[in-house]
Structure 1
Amino acid sequence: MKIQQLKDFLDAKAAYYNHPDFIANDPISIPHQYSRLQDIEIAGFFAAIMAWGNRTSIINKCTELMQMMDNAPYDFIRHHEPRDRMKLMSFTHRTFNGLDLLYFVEFLQHYYTNVTSLEFAFSAHITPEDENVENALIGFNKVFFALEHPERTRKHISTPAKHSACKRLNMYLRWMVRKDENGVDFGLWQHISPSQLVCPMDVHVSRVAARLGLVTDPKADWKTATTLTHELKKLDPDDPAKYDFALFGLGVIEKYV
């Protein structure tokens, strides 16, 4: 497929899926329940971190978690007492359990006591000259685990330093950074450019990308994710992550591979 044909094809698919109708059946529906910046950040963070497996199950578990936080995640994070954490111990989603959740809540409470937005935990580690968000993700991982933490919890926050594709964190950044007229992504963060986003990559996306000739190795790791993003920038240098909609839709919904 020639580059203009590929661009036309992926632009059309991205436009089809990047639509308000997409929200209801996707984990991004969880932060869309809120209007305050911090509520969106916290709900979105949990929804992204837990976004593996069946989408219906993800949404159900995130809804359960928000209910545990009285459907006011920022108020809960900022003002809960240690005894309020006990009810969180029963929460599980796949390998994410109550022990992991307690540390996430502890970190967020500590963080929001000192900083107004979770954006700065990422953006403090990136400059406008950075090609992509690699340094932001590495820096966030260090910030997140600066407190004493269970070793098992480290697997839930990935980092390019260990060659992970960081699919869920890249998806979270897409939600928070990208902004267009379609209203799916929030575009609330201003200190990271959409051009620096890395396309979220899982096995479905990597297989579609390989079939389209965008990557030669379908292994879902950081190298392949950045290679894919480099190719997508040839189609749209300012907004390569918009093609996540196209690649996700082709792989998961249309079974293109």
Structure 2
Amino acid sequence: MPLAPGDAPAVKSRLDRLTKTYGPAYLDSDPLGLVHRHPHDEDREAAAFFASALAFGNAKAVRTSLGRVLGRLGARPAAALREFRIDENADLFEGIVHRWVGPRDLARFAHMTGAALREWGSLEAAFMPGYEPGAATLTSALVGFRRRLLALAP
């Protein structure tokens, strides 16, 4: 159900309450805790994108898989992804399986993410061409973002 413009204050209030209840103290058990460890915005963006891609299953399993992926990408995941080329780095995620997502899937995702970072500079910039501030939903923006990423698939 789309969010009506008048609903925004109620949604903000609810999200603010949830933030107070499940704030920074919970990050140690949440996959986002691994994202927040990165001091640079571009690295948090890249780490968060991988976190969102793996965000199915219980939080502990997601956190474990994300930790392994980020460990392979190193201290600067955005830079590692910009340099990632599937033909040269296909084995980077060897041994990492998150439910049905395997090393080859992770390598393809890394390839597309890195290509997007090279082409647009950030994932936000890759998302924004389809964003319409007055739209009732983000559907068209998300569809466009997905299309742009898939166009970069190996």
Q: TM-score range by the shorter chain?
A: 0.7 to 0.9
User: Is 2:147 aligned against 1:136?
Assistant: no
RMSD of aligned alpha carbons = 2.4
Contact 1:121 1:139 in 2 (8 A): no
Please identify which structure carries the higher helix content.
Answer: 2
TM-score by length of 1: 0.50
Q: Rg larger in 1 or in 2?
A: 1
User: CA offset at residue 62 of structure 1?
Assistant: 0.7
1:104-155 superposed Cα distances (whole Å, 9 cap, x missing partner): 1111221111222101222210112112211111111111111345xxxxxx
Q: Which residue of 2 aligns with 1:146?
A: 151
Contact 2:116 2:152 in 1 (8 A): no
> What 5-or-longer segments of structure 1 have no aligned partner?
1-5, 150-257
> What 5-or-longer segments of structure 2 have no aligned partner?
1-9
User: CA offset at residue 84 of structure 1?
Assistant: 3.2
Report runs of 4+ in structure 1 exceeding 6 Å deviation: none
Contact 1:68 1:88 in 2 (8 A): yes
TM-score by length of 2: 0.80
User: CA offset at residue 15 of structure 1?
Assistant: 4.7
Question: AA paired with 2:82?
Answer: R
Contact 1:66 1:72 in 2 (8 A): no
Q: Which residue of 1 aligns with 2:6?
A: none
The structure 1 residue matched to 2:26, chosen from 18, 22, 25, is: 22
The structure 1 residue matched to 2:128, chosen from 116, 123, 131, is: 123
1:217-253 superposed Cα distances (whole Å, 9 cap, x missing partner): xxxxxxxxxxxxxxxxxxxxxxxxxxxxxxxxxxxxx
State percent identity of aligned pairs: 22
Total equivalences in the alignment = 143
Question: AA paired with 2:126?
Answer: A
Contact 1:125 1:139 in 2 (8 A): yes
